[in-house]
Amino acid sequence: MIWKIISTAPNQITAESWCELLSNNGFECKIIDSTYFRYNGISNLPVRILVPEKEFSKAKKFLRETILNFDQI
């Protein structure tokens, strides 16, 4: 399966929230793993969110319609 970056969230908590929102609405989603999180807990650094390439357009549209000002984040 080919994964594509749908967005870069401002921090880990936001990334997990967006990924959960996608998952709860039928989209596969994952966050790029970083060893930094494993050793230092929750990160306040930007985090990339990925979806399968075949779901990218629908997932992006869903996020734009669901999250206020999504494209400006």
Q: What single string gives the DSSP state of each residue in 10-41?
A: SSHHHHHHHHHHHHHTT---EE---HHHHHHS
What are the boundaries of each domain within the chain? 3-54
Helix (H, G, I), strand (E, B) or coil at 46: coil
Q: List, for residues 3-60, the tens digit of each pLDDT value.
A: 999 999 888 899 999 999 999 999 999 998 655 555 566 667 888 999 999 999 999 9
Model-level pTM?
0.80
Residue 21's pLDDT is: 95
